[in-house]
């Protein structure tokens, strides 16, 4: 399996990594609905056993719970993957989420993530969102300091645009960017991906299947039946007329995948990996069966003709 180096780091990562957002479970503002921890752990084990060598999570996923699940999954494993997590989203005793990039807050978040993950050093620590915008430099400087102290190996950003990354680069180099990217949402191709290529910033994209829309198993009926705390009930991509158009795109990917014995989701992931700026794709999985349905994306690639057939401008 071919691996790629992530930006300016020494991390050689597989084409896809485990996304642990949904593993945070239900009951918080951006949940995917209820989730069984044992199913999450089985998904992680399935991916690792097939060669995946990194996991991406965040402190806010399940308000700390996702990181705890990742720690449980890795306990006693000899083939430990790289673990990536994030700061900046904080919450209070009432489980209300807010943004902070103050240096003391970033340090507290880092220490809490180290405890939950049961590690001494985090392989890649990322600012989750560029908010509050006026504190970007303070937050990024705090990450640089934590790296100097050995608590972090590499540091990156998530959901930043080129202008915001330029502000960070004035302080210390950025190892990676984590942006949303899929055939449904290709917006970063215009400015962000070229910027990352120019400045040797690695790119690990999230939502390559657009939160399950391009998995080949999504239907209008499933969308209607989403749990009340599933954030996708409120997402524009899941609302008409977008939903019908996006499900048609998923059908096209299913058709292409069938020619190779691959799923629509694997085609959707391969579509993101076709771009030379993309180092890897974060793929959410909630069970061993879901993991098996996308692990072919570790090696499956689209032809030029198939990319044209998908036809996303």
216-239: per-residue pLDDT in tens? 888 888 888 888 878 887 888 788
- Whether residue 308 is contained in a domain is answered as no
Q: What's the confidence (pLDDT) of residue 244?
A: 87
Report the catalytic residues: 61
- Whether residue 309 is contained in a domain is answered as no
pLDDT per residue over 12-38, tens digit each?
999 999 999 999 999 888 888 899 999
pLDDT per residue over 122-164, tens digit each?
999 999 999 999 999 999 999 999 999 999 999 999 999 999 9
87-103: average pLDDT: 97
- Whether residue 266 is contained in a domain is answered as yes
Instruction: Give the CATH number, domain containing residue 108.
Output: 3.20.20.100
Total structural domains in the chain?
1
- Whether residue 313 is contained in a domain is answered as no
- Whether residue 5 is contained in a domain is answered as no
- Whether residue 185 is contained in a domain is answered as yes
Nearest to 80, CA basis, from 48, 103, 111: 48
pLDDT band at 119 (very low <50, low <70, confident <90, very high): very high
- Whether residue 92 is contained in a domain is answered as yes
Domain that holds residue 26: 13-300
154-179: average pLDDT: 98
- Whether residue 227 is contained in a domain is answered as yes
pTM: 0.93
């Amino acid at each position: 399996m071919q691996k790629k180096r992530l930006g300016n780091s020494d991390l050689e990562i597989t084409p896809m990594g485990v996304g642990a957002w949904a593993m945070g479970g239900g009951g918080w503002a951006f949940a995917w609905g209820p989730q069984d921890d044992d199913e999450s752990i089985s998904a992680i084990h399935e991916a690792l056993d097939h060669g995946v060598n990194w996991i991406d999570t965040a402190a806010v996923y399940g308000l700390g719970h996702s990181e705890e699940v990742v720690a449980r999954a890795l306990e006693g494993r000899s083939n430990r993957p790289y673990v990536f997590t994030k700061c900046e989203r904080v919450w209070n005793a009432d489980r209300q989420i807010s943004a902070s990039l103050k240096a003391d807050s970033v340090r507290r978040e880092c220490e809490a993530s180290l405890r939950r993950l049961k590690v001494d050093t985090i392989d890649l620590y990322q600012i989750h969102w560029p908010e509050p915008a006026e504190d970007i430099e303070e937050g990024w400087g705090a990450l640089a300091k934590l790296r100097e102290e050995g608590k972090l190996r590499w540091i990156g950003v998530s959901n930043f645009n080129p202008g915001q990354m330029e502000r960070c680069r004035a302080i210390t180099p950025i190892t990676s960017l984590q942006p949303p990217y899929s055939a449904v949402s290709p917006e970063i191709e215009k400015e962000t991906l070229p910027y990352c290529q120019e400045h040797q910033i690695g790119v690990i994209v999230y939502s390559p299947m657009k939160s399950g829309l391009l998995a080949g198993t999504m239907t209008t009926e499933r969308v209607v039946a989403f749990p009340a705390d599933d954030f996708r009930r409120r997402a524009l991509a899941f609302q008409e007329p977008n939903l019908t158009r996006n499900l048609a795109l998923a059908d096209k990917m299913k058709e292409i995948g069938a020619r190779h014995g691959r799923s629509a989701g694997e085609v959707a992931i391969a579509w993101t990996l076709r771009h030379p700026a993309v180092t890897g794709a974060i793929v959410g999985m909630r069970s061993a069966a879901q993991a098996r349905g996308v692990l072919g994306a570790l090696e499956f690639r689209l032809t030029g003709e198939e990319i044209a057939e998908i036809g996303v401008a």
